[in-house]
Structure 1
Amino acid sequence: MVFTYVYAGWEGVARDARVLTEIVSNPENGFPFPPSNKYYLCDAAYPNTRGFLAPYRNVRYWLGDYQRRRAINKEEKFNHAHAQLRNVIERAYGVLKARFPILDKMPPYSIDVQRDVVVACFAVHNFIRKERINDELFNQYDSPQLIFDEEEGEQKKC
C-alpha cells in the first residue's frame, strides 16, 4: 500500500492512458519501469505493453462478481487474481483520500501549489506506511476482505 511514483501537475482534462504515455515517453520524468519479469497492474483502459498488465476485456472482472459464482476458465481466474491485487491499490487510495480530504476538492490554489500539496500527501502517506507507524486508517483498510468498489467509489466488507 505504498505508491511507487507520483506525477502531479498535469493541467486540464486528459485520459489516464494519455498522461501515462506522455510520462513514460519522456526520460526526464524518471518513470521507474519494472524489471523485465515484473508488471504494474492497470485497468482495461490501458493496453498490455512492456511492464503493464491489464485484465482480459469482456470477461468478468469485479470482485463482487465472483461472490456469486467462482471463476471457471483461465481468463476468469486471471481476472479474479488481477482484481484481488488491484483491490490493494484501491484500498491504498482509500487511505490516502480518507487521510487527506483536500485531495477530493482542491481549493483554487495555483497549479504549482496544488502539485506540491498532492506530492506532499503521497509522501506523508508513504512515510507512515514505510515506518510501520500504528495507524488507524491503515489498520481499517488493511483487511483483504475489504473490497473497494471502484465503480461505486465505496467500500464493502466480505
Structure 2
Amino acid sequence: MIFTFVWAGWEGVAHDSRILTEVVSDVDSGFPLPPRNKYYLCDAAYANTRGFLAPYRNTRYWLADFRGQRALTKEEKFNHAHAKLRNVIERAYGVLKARFPILKQMAPYVFSTQRDIVIACFAVHNFIRMQKLEDQLFEQCDRSADSDGSDGEENENIPEASQHESQQGTQGAQFMTNLREQIALKLLTSS
C-alpha cells in the first residue's frame, strides 16, 4: 500500500489514461516503467499494452460481482484475481483520502501550493507505511482485507512475461493480450 510514483498538477477532471499516456511519454517525468517480465495492473479504462495489464472487458470484474457466485469462465477467473489484487490499490487510496480530507476538497490555494500539498500527503502516507508506525487507518484496512479475503493467494504460479523486447503499439497490445490469456488459462486449470 505504498505509492511508487506521484504526478501532481492535473485537473481533477482529466482522465487517468490521458495522464498516464502523458507521463509515460515524458522522459523527464521519472515514471518507473515496469521491469521486463513485470507489469502494472490497471483497470479497464486503460489500454492493455506492454507493461500494463487490464482486465477482460464486458466480463464480471468488481469484487462485489462475485459475492455469492463463483467465477466460472477463464475470463471471470482472471478478472476476479485481477480485482482482488487491484483492491490493494483502492484500499491505499481509501487510507490516503481518509487521512487527508483536503485531497477530496482542495482549499483555494495557488496552484503550486495545491500541487505541493498533494505530494506531501503521499509522502507522509508512504512514510507511515514504510516505517510500520502504529496507525489506526492502516490497521483497520489490513483487518478488513484479512476478513474479506481480498488479498488471497490465488495468483501463485502465474506465468511471467516472456523474454520479449519492450514494444509499444499493436505488438505491445498483442503481447499483453497473449499474456493475459496464459494467466487466465493457468488460473482456470489451477482451481
Which deviates more, 71-80 or 139-148?
Answer: 139-148
Q: Distance in 2 between matches of 1:112 and 1:147?
A: 40
Shift in alpha-carbon separation, 1:95–1:17, aligned structure 2, 3 A: same
Q: Secondary structure at the match of 2:67?
A: helix
> How far is 1:102 from its partner?
0.5
* Partner in structure 1 of residue 40 of structure 2: 40
Q: Secondary structure at the match of 1:5?
A: coil
Q: Secondary structure at the match of 1:29?
A: coil
* Partner in structure 2 of residue 63 of structure 1: 63
Q: CA RMSD in A?
A: 1.5
- Equivalent residue letter for 1:51: G
Give 1 or 2: higher helix fraction.
2
Structure 1 residues without counterparts, runs of 5 or longer: 149-158
> How far is 1:13 from its partner?
3.3
> How far is 1:10 from its partner?
1.7
The normalised TM-score by structure 2 is 0.74
Q: Could you tell me whether the CA contact under 8 Å between 1:95 and 1:137 is conserved in 2?
A: yes
Q: Give the 5 Å matches for 1:51-90.
A: 51-90=51-90
Shift in alpha-carbon separation, 1:146–1:30, aligned structure 2, 3 A: same
Q: Distance in 1 between matches of 2:82 and 2:47?
A: 15
Shift in alpha-carbon separation, 1:96–1:147, aligned structure 2, 3 A: farther
Shift in alpha-carbon separation, 1:147–1:112, aligned structure 2, 3 A: farther
Give 1 or 2: higher strand fraction.
1
Q: Distance in 1 between matches of 2:114 and 2:134?
A: 28
Shift in alpha-carbon separation, 1:146–1:112, aligned structure 2, 3 A: farther
Q: Secondary structure at the match of 2:28?
A: helix
Identity %: 70
> How far is 1:147 from its partner?
8.8
Higher relative contact order at CA 8 Å, sep ≥6: structure 1 or structure 2?
2
> How far is 1:12 from its partner?
6.7
Question: How big is each residue's C-alpha offset from its partner over 1:98-141, in whole Å with a ceiling of 9 and x where there is no partner?
Answer: 10000000011111000000000000000000000011000011
The normalised TM-score by structure 1 is 0.89
Q: Could you tell me whether the CA contact under 8 Å between 1:11 and 1:111 is conserved in 2?
A: no
Q: Distance in 2 between matches of 1:12 and 1:91?
A: 20
* Partner in structure 1 of residue 171 of structure 2: none
Tell which structure's C-alpha radius of gyration is larger. Answer: 2
- Equivalent residue letter for 2:70: R
Q: Distance in 1 between matches of 2:78 and 2:116?
A: 38
Q: Distance in 2 between matches of 1:19 and 1:66?
A: 30
* Partner in structure 1 of residue 100 of structure 2: 100
Q: Give the 5 Å matches for 1:113-152.
A: 113-142=113-142, 143-144=144-145, 145=147
Q: Distance in 2 between matches of 1:70 and 1:140?
A: 27
Q: Distance in 2 between matches of 1:12 and 1:60?
A: 28
